[in-house]
C-alpha cells in the first residue's frame, strides 16, 4: 500500500491507512530527507531555524562586544571574523554586515520560517484532524526552497567582499551600489537570490496552510471550533500570500537597477568621482514596496506566536481562553490594519506629511485590538489552576513582552513623536521586545509544549526552568535599557559612539546590554542541550501529557503517516472545554460526544 | 593548545555529568511512581514565587531607569525649537499613559500567574466570556487612543503645515559619504540650482552658474579625452571594462552638461553666484535664534538622514529629490550651555540612516546665535563666486573637444 498521501482525496479518505500503515518501513531518503509528511517537514523547519538562530545569536554577540567596548580586541571576533576582525577588532563594514545579516536571518529564517514553518506544519493537520496537508508535495518543496535559500544566504557570508551590509531593509541606493559599501557587491546579489527563493518557499507553504484550513477539516470541525492557533496560522499565511509577492517585486526591480541599468530606485547619484547615468528613480518607492511587506511581516511572525500563547495559556491554566470570538475578531482587525500602516516606517523620509497623518491614524488604531488581546490573556489566567510548565512560562513571557513592546509602539506610531525617535535605539528596543523576543518565545514555548508531538519524548523541566528565568530576565535587561539610549538620541547601526562626547555617559548602558546579551545567549545553550538530549534520551511521552483537549493529543505518540490509525477523529465541541462544572476530569477533548445535558442545551438554542 | 584540550574535556565531562543527573532523577521519579515531566507542586510553587518577583522586577526596571536617566538628565535636553516644545508636551502625555499602563497591567499578568498557581485538588473557574468586561476594555483603550491620535495629529499638522511668520532663512544641507555641507541663499534669498553632473573638486555641490557650466564641460572633456587615450593603448581586460564604463558615464554626463549649456542661453543661472557654501572642513554651520529656518536637504550618493535631535528635527536626504523641514530655534548655544552647565555642549546634526562604513561619524555642529552674531558671521563668509579661484581660461583644443562632445 502506498504510504505517501498526494491528493486531497487521500487526505479526506477517512478510512485510508489502516493501523498496519506504520509497519511499512520507508527508505531513509523519503522518510527523513525528501519527506512529504507534515510532521517531518515541521521538524526540518525547526532544526534548520535553530541552526540559524544560533548563527544570528553569535553575530549579535560579536557586534555587541564592539558596542560595549569599542576598539578592543576579542578572541571570538578574531576567531570568527578572520580578515574582518584584525587583532580581534571588528571592521566597520563588517559591523554593518553583521547587523544586516543578524536582522535578515532573525526576521526571515528564524521568526518566519522557524515559527510558521514548524508549527503551522505540525499543528494544522493534527489539530484539524486531517491526515496531511492538502498538497504534501508542495509542502516538501516549501522546505527545500527554504533550504536552498538558506544555503545561498550561508554562502553569502563567505564571499570576498563580505555579505550584504545595507541593513536588513536594504534601502537602495546603498544596497545598489558596490561603490558605496563593499557588501553591496556579490554579497547583495546572493542576498536577493536567497530572498527570492525564500519568498517562493513562503508562498508554497502559505497556500498550503490556507487551503488546508479552508478545505480540509475533520467532521464536525466548524471554523468556530478551531483552536486559536489555527486561526492565527491561517491569518498569518493569508498576510504572507498577499504581501510577500510585493517584496519579490521590489527585489526584482532592485536586481534590474543593480545589473541591467534601469533606474527604478536610483537617481542623480555622484559617487567615487563619477556621475552615474540613472535619473528619475525614487529611493522612497523602494521603501514603500519594502514596508508593504515589512509591516504585515511583523504580524506574520507575531500572530502565530500569539496563537501558540493562547493555546498553551488556556491548557495550562485549565481554563477556556477568555473571549474566543473577541480573540478571533481582534486578530482579524490587526491583520486587516497591518496592510494600511506601512507608512509609519517612513514618516520622515520626505513622504507627504498628509499621508503621514493617515498612517498615524491607522497605526494607533492597532493598539485597540492589541489591548483586547492582552486583557483577554490576563483574564484567562484569573481563577485558573495554573500549571507552570516551561512552555507555560514562555507563553506568559510572550504576553509580558507583547504588553511592554506594544506600549512603546504607541510612541513610535505617533508621527510627531517619531520625528525624534525614528531610527534610534528606541526603535530597536521596541521591535526586539514585541516582534523579536516575543516571537522567539513563541518558538521556544512551542518546542516545550509540543515536544511530545514532535519527537515522542518529553523535555527536562528543570533545565527548562533555568532556561526560562535566565532568558526572561536577560531579555528585559538587554532591551529595557536600550529605550533610554534611543531617548538620548543614539542612532542605531552606529559602529561606535566614540565620535560623540554627548553619548559618553551612556556607555555603561551599552555594557549592561552586552553583558546581559552574553548571559542570555549562553542560556540558550541549556535549551540546545535539553533539546538534543531529550530527542534521544528523554523519557517516552504519553499520549496526552498536558491533558489538552485538542485533536493532536488524540493521535498516537509514534509518528505514522496519516496521523491516526483507522478513522480520523470526529469533533463534537469547541477546543476549550476545561474545568466544566460537574465533570469528573477538568478537560473534555474535542472528540468526546456531547453529554446529554449539553445536547439539550444545544437543541434549545436552535 | 593545552588550554583548548582542557576546555573541550571539561565541556564534555560536564555535559556527561548533567546527562547522568537527569537520567538518575528521571529514574528516581519513575521508581517513586511519579512521571518525570509532571510539574510537582513544589516546582510550581517556586516558579509561581518567581512570577511574583517579576512584578517587582518590572517596577524596579521602570523606576531605576526613570530616576537615573529621565530625572538624572542623561537623555535629550528640552527642545530648543518652537515646534519641539509641542512635541515634548505630547511626548510627556504619551509616556505618562504608557507608563501607567505598563505599571498596572504587567503586575496583573505576573500576579495572577502566582496567585492562581496549581493547588492540590484545585479546580479552575470556567469563565469563557463576559460581554460587559470585554466592552470595557475595548471602549476605554479606544477612547484613550483616539484622544492620543487626534492630539498627535494636531501637533503633526502644526509641525508641517503651519505658515511660518517672519523672514525665513533658507539653508541647504547637503549629505555625502560621510560629511555634511551647508549652503546659504545669499542676498537674493534664493538657492542657486544645482545638478549632480556639475560636481567637481571646486564645486562640491554642483551649483549651476554660466561659468561653472563652461568649466565643467572643459573638465569632463579633458577626462573623456584621457579615457579615450587609455582605451587606445590596449589596456588589460579588467581595466578595459572599467574604462568603457567610464566612457559611458562621461558621455552621459556630457549630454546633461550640453543640455544645461543650451538652457543657459535662455536662463541666467544667476541665483547661485551669491550663495554661501560652508564646506565639511569647517565642521559647523550657524543659524539665528527666533527666526524660522527652512532646511532643504539633498544627498550626493545614498540615503542619509539629517537628524538634529535637540530641535526635534529629522528628515531623510535622498539622492534625486529635495526634502524640507522648517523649524524655529528658540535657545542659543550659549544659553543651552549655561542651562545644562556644560561648557562644551553643542547642538549637533548627525546622520541617522545607514550610509556606509563611517556612518557613525558623520556630524556637523549647529551654532545657534543671536541675529546680530549670525549676520556678522554670515558676512564674513565668501560667496560662491568669490570663493572660486579666478576662472581658468579654457584651452582652445579642449573647448573644441567639448564642443564635439556636446553634439553627441
Pairwise CB contact (< 8 Å): A171 & B353: yes
Q: Output the pLDDT for position A25.
A: 72
Residues A562, A132 contacting (CB under 8 angstroms): yes
Do both B24 and B173 map to the same domain?
no
Within-domain flag for B151: no
Of A180, A282, A469, the CB nearest to B177: A180
Considering only CB atoms, B15 lies closest to which of A96, A174, A529, namely: A529
Q: Which residue of B has its CA nearest to A376?
A: B134
Inter-chain residue contact B90 with A414, CB threshold 8 Å: yes
Top residue of B217, B357, B366 to mutate, by most chain A CBs within 10 Å, is B357
**Is the distance from CB of B354 to CB of A98 less than 8 angstroms?**
no
B223-234 average pLDDT score? 90
Mean pLDDT to the nearest integer, B378-384: 92
Range of the domain at B24: 1-38
Distance between CA atoms of A128 and A571, rounded to whole angstroms?
9
Instruction: Decide: A152 and A101 in contact? Cβ < 8 Å.
Output: no
pLDDT (0 to 100) of residue B393: 46
Count Cβ neighbours within 10 Å for each residue of A281-314 and write b for 16 or more, e otherwise.
Answer: bbbbebbbbbbbbbbbbbbbbbbbbbbbbbbbbb
Same domain, B324 and B176: yes
Q: What is the pLDDT of residue A8?
A: 40
- Does residue B125 sit at the A interface (CB-CB below 8 Å)? yes
Best residue in A278, A447, A498, A502 for a mutation probing chain B (most B CBs within 10 Å): A502
pLDDT one-digit tens code per residue, B115-168? 999 998 888 999 988 999 999 999 999 999 999 999 999 999 999 988 767 788
Residue A1: pLDDT over 80:
no
pLDDT above 50 for A342: yes
Q: What angle do CA B190, B196, B198 make, to 5 degrees?
A: 80
Q: For A357, which of B15, B153, B354 is closest by C-beta distance?
A: B153
> Tell me, what's the pLDDT at A469?
97
pLDDT computed for residue B398 by the predictor: 46
- A3 pLDDT exceeds 80? no
Position B298 in a domain: yes
Of how many residues is chain A composed?
A: 606
User: Which pLDDT value is given to residue A584?
Assistant: 87
Residues of A in contact with B102 (CB under 8 A): 403-404, 407
3-state DSSP call for residue A152? helix
Whole-number pLDDT of residue A4: 42
- Asked if the Cβ–Cβ distance from B39 to A388 is below 8 Å, we say yes
B346 within domain boundaries? yes
Residue B23 confidence (pLDDT) above 90: no
Residue A9 has pLDDT above 70, yes or no: no
Read out DSSP for A7-72?
SHHHHH-TT-S-GGGGGSPPPHIIIIIS---HHHHHHHHHHHHHHHHHHHHHHHHHHHHHHHSTT-
Residue-averaged pLDDT of chain A: 92
Q: Are residues B172 and B319 in the same domain?
A: yes
Band the pLDDT of B17: cuts 50, 70, 90: confident
In-domain check, residue B82: no
Digit-coded pLDDT (tens) for B230-261 = 988 887 888 888 899 999 999 999 999 999 99
Q: What is the pLDDT of residues A279-334, one digit of tens each?
A: 999 999 999 999 999 999 999 999 999 999 999 999 999 999 999 999 999 999 99
Q: What pLDDT score does A13 carry?
A: 42
Q: What is the CATH number of the domain that holds B355?
A: 2.60.40.420
Between A16 and B13, the higher pLDDT residue: B13
A9 versus A210: the higher-pLDDT residue is: A210
**Residue-averaged pLDDT of chain B:** 90
H or E element that contains A508? helix A507-537
Interior/surface letters A8-36, b for 16+ CB within 10 angstroms, e for the rest: bebbbeeebbeeebbeeeeeeeeeeeebb
CB contact under 8 A, B98 and A411: yes
Q: What's the confidence (pLDDT) of residue B407? A: 45
Contact criterion met (CB < 8 Å) for A416 and B309: no
Pick left, alpha or beta for residue B73 (phi over 0 → left; psi -120 to 50 → alpha; otherwise beta): left
3-state secondary structure of A115: helix
Interface check for B241 against chain A (CB to CB < 8 A): the answer is no
What is the C-alpha R_g of chain B? 33
| Nearest Cα to Cα of residue B402 among B211, B216, B202 | B216
Structural domains counted in chain B:
2
Question: At residue A343, does pLDDT exceed 90?
Answer: yes
Which of the given ranges, A70-79, A138-147, B20-29, has the highest pLDDT on average?
Answer: A138-147
For A121, residues 6+ apart whose C-beta sits below 8 A from its C-beta are: A38, A39, A41, A42, A45, A133, A139, A205
Say if CB B316 and CB A350 are below 8 A apart.
yes
Residues B296, B322: contact at Cβ < 8 Å? Answer: yes
Cβ <8 Å between A489 and B307: yes
Q: How many percent of chain A have pLDDT more than 90? A: 87
Report how far apart, in Å, the C-alpha atoms of A253 and of each of A179, A279, A533, B355 are: 19, 15, 46, 21
Mean pLDDT throughout A249-254? 95
Residue A14 pLDDT level (bands cut at 50, 70, 90): very low
How do residues A159-185 score in pLDDT, each as one tens digit?
999 999 999 999 999 999 999 999 999
Show the CA angle centred on residue A479, arms to residues A512 and B67, nearest 5°.
70
Sheet containing strand B293-299, strands side by side:
B276-278, B179-184, B169-176, B293-299, B323-327
Task: Give A374's contacts in chain B (Cβ within 8 Å).
Answer: 105
Over residues A376-395, the pLDDT tens digits come to: 999 999 999 999 999 999 99
B354 assigned to some structural domain: yes
Residues 6+ apart with CB under 8 A from A540: A456, A457, A458, A557
Residue A419 pLDDT exceeds 50:
yes
Rounded to an integer, what distance in angstroms lies between the CA atom of residue B10 and that of residue A208? 47
Confidence of residue A24 (pLDDT cuts 50, 70, 90): low
Residue B303 is nearest to which of A173, A280, A393, comparing CB atoms? A173
* Strands (DSSP E) found in A145-259: none
What is the DSSP code string of B105-156? Answer: HHHHHHHHHHHTB--TT---------HHHHHHHHHHHHHHHHHHHHHHHHHH
Q: Could you tell me how far CA A527 lies from the centroid of its own chain?
A: 18
More confidently predicted of B45 and B391: B45
Question: Percent of chain B, pLDDT > 70?
Answer: 95
The position carrying cell 555642529 is B365
Contact A48, A149 (CB under 8 A): no
Cell (9 digits) for B299 = 544627498
Indicate the helix (H) or strand (E) that contains A351.
Answer: none
Residue B121 lies inside a defined structural domain of this protein = no
Domains along chain A with CATH numbers: 43-267+275-605 (1.20.210.10)
Q: Which residue of A has its CA nearest to B15?
A: A529
Contact residues on chain A for B110, CB-CB shorter than 8 A: 396, 400
Q: Tell whether B109 is within 8 A of chain A (Cβ).
A: yes
Beta bridge partners of B59: none
Contact by Cβ (8 Å): B315, B306: yes
Give the residue-averaged pLDDT of B281-293.
94
Instruction: Tell me what the mean pLDDT of segment A453-482 comes to.
Output: 95
Q: Could you give the 3-state DSSP secondary structure of residue B1? A: coil
Contacts of A481 in chain B (CB under 8 A): 65
CA distance linking residue A194 with residue A105, whole number of Å: 11
* pLDDT class of A6 with cuts at 50, 70, 90: very low
User: Is B401 a residue whose pLDDT tops 70?
Assistant: no
Share of chain B above pLDDT 90, in %: 73
Confidence of residue A16 (pLDDT cuts 50, 70, 90): very low
Amino acid at each position: 500500500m502506498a504510504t505517501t498521501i498526494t491528493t486531497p482525496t487521500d487526505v479526506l479518505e477517512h478510512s485510508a491507512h489502516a493501523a498496519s500503515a506504520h509497519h511499512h518501513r520507508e527508505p531513509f531518503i523519503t522518510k527523513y530527507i525528501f519527506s512529504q509528511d507534515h510532521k517531518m517537514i515541521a521538524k526540518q523547519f525547526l532544526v534548520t531555524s535553530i541552526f540559524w538562530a544560533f548563527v544570528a545569536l553569535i553575530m549579535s554577540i560579536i557586534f555587541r562586544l564592539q558596542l560595549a567596548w569599542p576598539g578592543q580586541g576579542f578572541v571570538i571576533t578574531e576567531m570568527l571574523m578572520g580578515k574582518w576582525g584584525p587583532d580581534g577588532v571588528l571592521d566597520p563594514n563588517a559591523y554593518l554586515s553583521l547587523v544586516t545579516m543578524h536582522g535578515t536571518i532573525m526576521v526571515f529564517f528564524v521568526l518566519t520560517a522557524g515559527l510558521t514553518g514548524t508549527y503551522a506544519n505540525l499543528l494544522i493537520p493534527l489539530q484539524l484532524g486531517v491526515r496531511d496537508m492538502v498538497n504534501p508535495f508542495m509542502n516538501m518543496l516549501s522546505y527545500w526552497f527554504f533550504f536552498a535559500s538558506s544555503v545561498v544566504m550561508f554562502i553569502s557570508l563567505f564571499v570576498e567582499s563580505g555579505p550584504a551590509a545595507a541593513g536588513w531593509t536594504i534601502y537602495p541606493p546603498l544596497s545598489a551600489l558596490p561603490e558605496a559599501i563593499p557588501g553591496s557587491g556579490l554579497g547583495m546579489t546572493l542576498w536577493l537570490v536567497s530572498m527570492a527563493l525564500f519568498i517562493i518557499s513562503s508562498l508554497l507553504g502559505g497556500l498550503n496552510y490556507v487551503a488546508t484550513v479552508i478545505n480540509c477539516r475533520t467532521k464536525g470541525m466548524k471554523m468556530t471550533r478551531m483552536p486559536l492557533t489555527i486561526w492565527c496560522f491561517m491569518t498569518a499565511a493569508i498576510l504572507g500570500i498577499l504581501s510577500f509577492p510585493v517584496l519579490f517585486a521590489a527585489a526584482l526591480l532592485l536586481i534590474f537597477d543593480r545589473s541591467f541599468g534601469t533606474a527604478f530606485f536610483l537617481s542623480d547619484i555622484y559617487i567615487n568621482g563619477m556621475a552615474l547615468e540613472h535619473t528619475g528613480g525614487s529611493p522612497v518607492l523602494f521603501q514603500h514596496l519594502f514596508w508593504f511587506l515589512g509591516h504585515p511581516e511583523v504580524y506574520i511572525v507575531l500572530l502565530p506566536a500569539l496563537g501558540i500563547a493562547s493555546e498553551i495559556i488556556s491548557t495550562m491554566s485549565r481554563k477556556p481562553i477568555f473571549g474566543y470570538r473577541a480573540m478571533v475578531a481582534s486578530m482579524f482587525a490587526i491583520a486587516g490594519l497591518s496592510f494600511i500602516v506601512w507608512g509609519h516606517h517612513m514618516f520622515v523620509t520626505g513622504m507627504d506629511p498628509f499621508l503621514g497623518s493617515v498612517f498615524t491614524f491607522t497605526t494607533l488604531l492597532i493598539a485597540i485590538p492589541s489591548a483586547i488581546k492582552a486583557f483577554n490573556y490576563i483574564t484567562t489566567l484569573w481563577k485558573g489552576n495554573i500549571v507552570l510548565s516551561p512552555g507555560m512560562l514562555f507563553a506568559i513571557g510572550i504576553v509580558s513582552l507583547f504588553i511592554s513592546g506594544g506600549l512603546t509602539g504607541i510612541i513610535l506610531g505617533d508621527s510627531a513623536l517619531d520625528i525624534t525617535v525614528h531610527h534610534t535605539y528606541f526603535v530597536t528596543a521596541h521591535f526586539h521586545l514585541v516582534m523579536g523576543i516575543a516571537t522567539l518565545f513563541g518558538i521556544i514555548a512551542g518546542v516545550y509544549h509540543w515536544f511530545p508531538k514532535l519527537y515522542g519524548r518529553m523535555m527536562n523541566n528543570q533545565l527548562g526552568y533555568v532556561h526560562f528565568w535566565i532568558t526572561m530576565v536577560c531579555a528585559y535587561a538587554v532591551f529595557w535599557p536600550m529605550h533610554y539610549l534611543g531617548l538620548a538620541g543614539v542612532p542605531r547601526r552606529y559602529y561606535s559612539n566614540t565620535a560623540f562626547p554627548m553619548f559618553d555617559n551612556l556607555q555603561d548602558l551599552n555594557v549592561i546590554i552586552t553583558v546581559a546579551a552574553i548571559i542570555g545567549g549562553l542560556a540558550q545553550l541549556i535549551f540546545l542541550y535539553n533539546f538534543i538530549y531529550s530527542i534521544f534520551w528523554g523519557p517516552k511521552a504519553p499520549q496526552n501529557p498536558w491533558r489538552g483537549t485538542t485533536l493532536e493529543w488524540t493521535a498516537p505518540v509514534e509518528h505514522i503517516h496519516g496521523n491516526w490509525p483507522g478513522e480520523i477523529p470526529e469533533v463534537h465541541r469547541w477546543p476549550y472545554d476545561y474545568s466544566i462544572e460537574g465533570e469528573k476530569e477538568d478537560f473534555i477533548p474535542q472528540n468526546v460526544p456531547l453529554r446529554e445535558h449539553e445536547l439539550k442545551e444545544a437543541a434549545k438554542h436552535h | 593548545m593545552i588550554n583548548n584540550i582542557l576546555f573541550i574535556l571539561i565541556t564534555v565531562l560536564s555535559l556527561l555529568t548533567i546527562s547522568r543527573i537527569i537520567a538518575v532523577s528521571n529514574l528516581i521519579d519513575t521508581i517513586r511512581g511519579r512521571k518525570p515531566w509532571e510539574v510537582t507542586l513544589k516546582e510550581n510553587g517556586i516558579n509561581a514565587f518567581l512570577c511574583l518577583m517579576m512584578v517587582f522586577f518590572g517596577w524596579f526596571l521602570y523606576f531605576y531607569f526613570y530616576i537615573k536617566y529621565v530625572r538624572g538628565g542623561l537623555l535629550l535636553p528640552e527642545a530648543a525649537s518652537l515646534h519641539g516644545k509641542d512635541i515634548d508636551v505630547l511626548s510627556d502625555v504619551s509616556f505618562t499613559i504608557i507608563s501607567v499602563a505598563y505599571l498596572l497591567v504587567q503586575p496583573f499578568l505576573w500576579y495572577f500567574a502566582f496567585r492562581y498557581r496549581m493547588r492540590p485538588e484545585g479546580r479552575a473557574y470556567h469563565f469563557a466570556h463576559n460581554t460587559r468586561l470585554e466592552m470595557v476594555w475595548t471602549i476605554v483603550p479606544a477612547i484613550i487612543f483616539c484622544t492620543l491620535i487626534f492630539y498627535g495629529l494636531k501637533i503633526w499638522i502644526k509641525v508641517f503645515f503651519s505658515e511660518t511668520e517672519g523672514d525665513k532663512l533658507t539653508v541647504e544641507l547637503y549629505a555625502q559619504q560621510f560629511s555634511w555641507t551647508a549652503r546659504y541663499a545669499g542676498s537674493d534669498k534664493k538657492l542657486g540650482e544645482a545638478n549632480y553632473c556639475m560636481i567637481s573638486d571646486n564645486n562640491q555641490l554642483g551649483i549651476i552658474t554660466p561659468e561653472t557650466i563652461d568649466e565643467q564641460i572643459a573638465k569632463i572633456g579633458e577626462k573623456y579625452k584621457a579615457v579615450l587615450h587609455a582605451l587606445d593603448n590596449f589596456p588589460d581586460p579588467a581595466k578595459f571594462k572599467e574604462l568603457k564604463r567610464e566612457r559611458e558615464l562621461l558621455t552621459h554626463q556630457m549630454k546633461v552638461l550640453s543640455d544645461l549649456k543650451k538652457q543657459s542661453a535662455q536662463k541666467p543661472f544667476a541665483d547661485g553666484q551669491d550663495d554661501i557654501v560652508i564646506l565639511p572642513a569647517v565642521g559647523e554651520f550657524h543659524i539665528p535664534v527666533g527666526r524660522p529656518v527652512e532646511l532643504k536637504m539633498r544627498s550626493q550618493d545614498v540615503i542619509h538622514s539629517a537628524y538634529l535631535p535637540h530641535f526635534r528635527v529629522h528628515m531623510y536626504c535622498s539622492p534625486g529629490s529635495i526634502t524640507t523641514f522648517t523649524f524655529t530655534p528658540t535657545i542659543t548655544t550659549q544659553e543651552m550651555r549655561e542651562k545644562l552647565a556644560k561648557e562644551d555642549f553643542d547642538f549637533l546634526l548627525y546622520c541617522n540612516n545607514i550610509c556606509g562604513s563611517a556612518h557613525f561619524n558623520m556630524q556637523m555642529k549647529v551654532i545657534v546665535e543671536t541675529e546680530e552674531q549670525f549676520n556678522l558671521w554670515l558676512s564674513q563668509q565668501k560667496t560662491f563666486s568669490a570663493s572660486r579661484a579666478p576662472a581658468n581660461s579654457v584651452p582652445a583644443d579642449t573647448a573644441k573637444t567639448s564642443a564635439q562632445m556636446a553634439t553627441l
